[in-house]
Amino acid sequence: MRYTLAVILMVVGVVVGGLGILQKTLWAPDDQITATAEIDAETPAVVVDPGMLNLYETPATLKVEGSGDLTIAQAPAENVEAWVGDSASAHVTGLAPEGELTVKAQDGKAKVPNPAGADLWTSEVTGTDTVELDWTDDANRTGFLIAGSGEPGDVKTVTISWPNHAETPWALPLMIIGGALFIGGIVVLFFNRKSAKKEKNRRTARQERRKKLAEYGTAFAIVPVLALSACGPEELPKPEPSEAPSSAAAGVNDDQAKRILDSVAEDIKAADKKTSSSDLKKRAAGPALQQREDAYKVKEKVEKQKLPPAVANEKVVVNYTAATDSWPRMTSLITSAGNDTQLLVLTQEDPRSDYKLWSQTQLVPGTELPEIPDARQGSAPLDPKSKDYALTPEKAVSDYAKALGSGKDSKEAKKFESDDFSKSIWKNQQAQKQSAEEGKAEVTYKYTPGKEIVAQGTADDSAVVTGVIEAESTISPESVDGRTGTLTLSSPQKELTGSDSTQKPVTTKTTQVLTFLVPKDGKVRLIGGLETLSGAELE
């Protein structure tokens, strides 16, 4: 029995130290936490819910395997859901035991468009057969759309992995304790061999050894339990995205705005080069489409006629994005190229459509821009009939049209600050009337406000309003006693009417797209515009 304690100490030391070594080797956790889902072959698109890539510490990696070109696109969850619409999809919603992702199926149409390059996405990554996205940001409301060509079966597996920072806190203490116990056993063994104690001392030593043995036996029973307790099952984390916004969110972020702007500018430049209306319709709508289509028609007959200016896309001066959660949606950009600063209004018909240029106005040089809401919040689109300003947006356009026709002394003109555009209009009117009288002719003017109006609020309680005015000037030859005079036509009326002279009235039409700053109180100010020739005809 003399060596019993030494043997027990050495055995316990080996066992405890071995447990510590196992936690660092065979029982050590993997370097990564990985979860995978197999995607049903009938599903054309996969949605990864917000917060899924933040279940564990980032950086996380979203890996998709399939066939053909694959895209992982990201956008606010509400936009992703809107893009999916009534199409079939698989939604990755959480973690399941044994390293799997939980997937919920949504029934619907069997196909979706290829999502690559869509304007709706804040960013995207593409690849062939395999594509990966690395994620380090907060969860926020970011969702992910995964698809290929749009056909079912393009996406086969989705895998999310995170670095595993799991620790083994008992490993080092167990190895230290085990080593100490083993050495203690050797020490006890050495002293027992040298001991020649008396019987009384041996009895005392036996009693002490029994007491220590009981203590070490308890430790032997407890330590493995403690060591193994860390290996027990843990509750699986759940996605924790930001709460859904209580009001409409900003439509376009800064990076997205520049990407959309460049695409719009490039496509319109290509359409201008070929004067192709069909190409133009891919990236233009509303007044911008009308102005350029009319300009193309004019240029077919008047070779020297200039087209509207190119879309300024060197720099986004202000991302004047709208706060909106519905479609059709609109947003605005203040952009520049050289000395040209423009206000562009863009519209998107539905979540899967590209943004199109709705209007393009050149800002008046020296214009002091109003304070624009932060692009992360956006500004709410305004009702054209909103009464929160000096004039409703609708009335601002219609009153300016009346002022152009009635002159600088009209009651409508007094509602607006003086501007060079109206001054030039009135000056030209006076010169044309004088010239017509000298040629025994008469000239009349007509300014008709259009129904298409876009208005957005600013941070200083003003409104930026863009509207359309159709302008017509008609020159009629004098008619006396049944005899009618003859008008001599010059370019571009000559080419557009196909005649050098006429005894009929000739009407020249232009389209004016104008942008106003409408304050809460006070006078309205014209801050930008673009006038284009739309045609000339004989009555």
**523 token code pair:** 């006078």
Confidence of residue 98 (pLDDT cuts 50, 70, 90): confident
Distance (Å, rounded) from C-alpha 62 to C-alpha 45?
A: 15
Reply yes or no on whether the pLDDT at 220 is more than 50.
Answer: no
- Residue range 40-68: average pLDDT? 95
pLDDT value of position 50: 96
Q: List the helix and strand counts (H, then E) for the chain.
A: 10, 20
**78 token code pair:** 């509400």
pLDDT value of position 378: 93
pLDDT value of position 291: 98
pLDDT value of position 201: 57
Reply yes or no on whether the pLDDT at 385 is more than 70.
Answer: yes
Residues 6+ apart with CB under 8 A from 435: none
Lowest mean pLDDT among 132-136, 406-410, 424-428, 487-491: 487-491
Of residues 278 and 367, more confidence is placed in: 278
- Residue range 227-245: average pLDDT? 71
pLDDT value of position 316: 97
Confidence of residue 213 (pLDDT cuts 50, 70, 90): very low
Most confident of 226-240, 369-383, 462-476, 492-506: 462-476
Pairing of strands 340-348, 483-484: unpaired
pLDDT value of position 228: 43
pLDDT value of position 217: 39
pLDDT tens-digit map of 467-493:
999 999 999 998 876 678 888 899 999
Reply yes or no on whether the pLDDT at 231 is more than 50.
Answer: no
pLDDT tens-digit map of 333-355:
999 999 999 999 999 999 999 99
Distance (Å, rounded) from C-alpha 168 to C-alpha 28?
A: 8
Backbone angles phi, psi at 169, to 5 degrees: -65, -25
pLDDT value of position 473: 96
Q: Which helix (H) or strand (E) holds 513?
A: strand 506-518
**385 token code pair:** 């009939």
Mean pLDDT for the chain?
A: 87
pLDDT tens-digit map of 170-207:
556 666 775 676 576 566 556 666 554 555 555 555 55
Most confident of 21-25, 139-143, 237-241: 139-143
Helices 393-406 and 420-438, axial angle in degrees (round to 10)? 30
pLDDT value of position 368: 85
